[in-house]
Structure 1
Amino acid sequence: MTETTTPRRGLLIILSSPSGAGKSTLARRLMDWDESLSFSVSATTRAPRPGEEDGVHYHFISAPAFKQLVSENGMLEHAHVFGNFYGSPLAPVKDAIESGRDVLFDIDWQGAQQIRNSDLGKHTLSVFILPPSIAELKRRLVSRGQDTEETIGKRMLKSWDEISHWDGYDYVLVNTDLDATEAQLKTIVSAERMRRAQQPGLQAHVRKLQMEFEEGQE
């Protein structure tokens, strides 16, 4: 990609989908497309799993430290899942978008809603990925070969809960063909980067044009 010389604010890019709809693959492709994109590293109170590194896969912190961050409004979004807390620390995200770097979030509809309702909501781009059919969604989950039938059944139930919140997003893409969906996603991101709210220098530029115009009338 070619860099723009126009200063801009970064975007908070939210990708959500039911499990198996292609969200993680699209997130990886988006980051391969633009290496300036950074992935939001969540904080969690659960213990690290084998191979996980602090600050790379998650920020591993204690429950008291997590709760303190929440009480100090230091979390952009957070949730309690299966006995552990998960959340997105606010400070690194704020620093990134103020310096013009986009941050990518792979979160569910609840986290997306919290971010949209935050002080950074106006800098958010949210995209929901739908499967072409329920049968195809189940086929993709089964083809992974990672889960038991019982687990797949639970994932399917959770999937419908996720899908039911599709209308809370800025854009909704039906992932029938991965390459086509990737192209659509890139188009959306490119356009949203040029939103007026993302270009803090526009007002000063217009004032400069006004001064030039007024000087030309003298």
Structure 2
Amino acid sequence: MKRRGNIYIVSAPSGAGKSTLCRELLKVYPEITYSISHTTRAPRAGEQDGVDYHFVTKQGFQERIEKGLMAEWAEVHGNYYGTSIETLEASVANGVDVLLDIDVQGARQMCEAMPECVTIFIMPPSMDELLSRLDKRGTDTPETIDKRMKNAVGEMQQRDFYEHVIVNDNLDDAVAAFVAVVKGCREGVTS
């Protein structure tokens, strides 16, 4: 009988480094499929449709919700984000591990639908460092950064929902901790 794939859910406040950590994990485990979310937000510089996200209109996203085609979805910072149920079910049924980079609302929805999900929360070392990272990114207005910082407080208060919490203070240490979690799950070791 074919092994069922694992679903790894990674959440973090905006700017905590979850996208960087996910990219580093995929260098170690290139066979893990990175779930490409659907979103209604505009692409950032260098992002490609179908590679970074599936960029869709709000109307198109709402139609997918109505048809039950989203395994999870949420409205975050005024935009919709979500995961296609067909793609996710096909991957894990074929023994493929899937990595999802989703917010805390989406993580809760996914765990309700698929309780076997492995949940990982990425913490910034401090609020000051988080603010600095958002500022250096140069992609958001001061108002958006303020909103992200306020949201970060609520998101971090939900970290106890997650099985694993990794503080991204030193990138190499955070990557090693992330790889250790995935390796343990792939080898059937529980923590």
TM (norm. structure 1) is: 0.75
For residues 55 and 141 of structure 2, what CA distance do their matches in structure 1 show?
A: 28
Which of 100, 112, 115 in structure 2 is aligned with 1:121? 115
For residues 59 and 105 of structure 2, what CA distance do their matches in structure 1 show?
A: 22
Which residue of the partner structure matches residue 156 of structure 1?
Answer: 149
Letter in 2 for 1:134: M
Pair 168,51 (structure 1): closer, same or farther in 2 beyond 3 Å? same
Which residue of the partner structure matches residue 72 of structure 2?
Answer: 77
Which residue of the partner structure matches residue 32 of structure 2?
Answer: 37
The answer to whether residue 97 in structure 2 is matched with residue 95 in structure 1 is no
The answer to whether residue 132 in structure 2 is matched with residue 143 in structure 1 is no
For residues 17 and 147 of structure 2, what CA distance do their matches in structure 1 show?
A: 18
Per-residue deviation at 1:183? 0.7
Cα offsets for 1:37-92 (capped at 9, x unmatched): 11111223567678654433333455555444334432110123455533211111
TM (norm. structure 2) is: 0.85
Pair 73,183 (structure 1): closer, same or farther in 2 beyond 3 Å? same
Letter in 2 for 1:163: M
Identity within the alignment, %? 43
Tell me whether 97-106 or 73-82 shows the greater mean CA deviation. Answer: 73-82
Q: Which runs of 5+ in 2 are unaligned?
A: none
Letter in 1 for 2:112: N
Q: Which runs of 5+ in 1 are unaligned?
A: 1-5, 197-218
Per-residue deviation at 1:106? 1.0
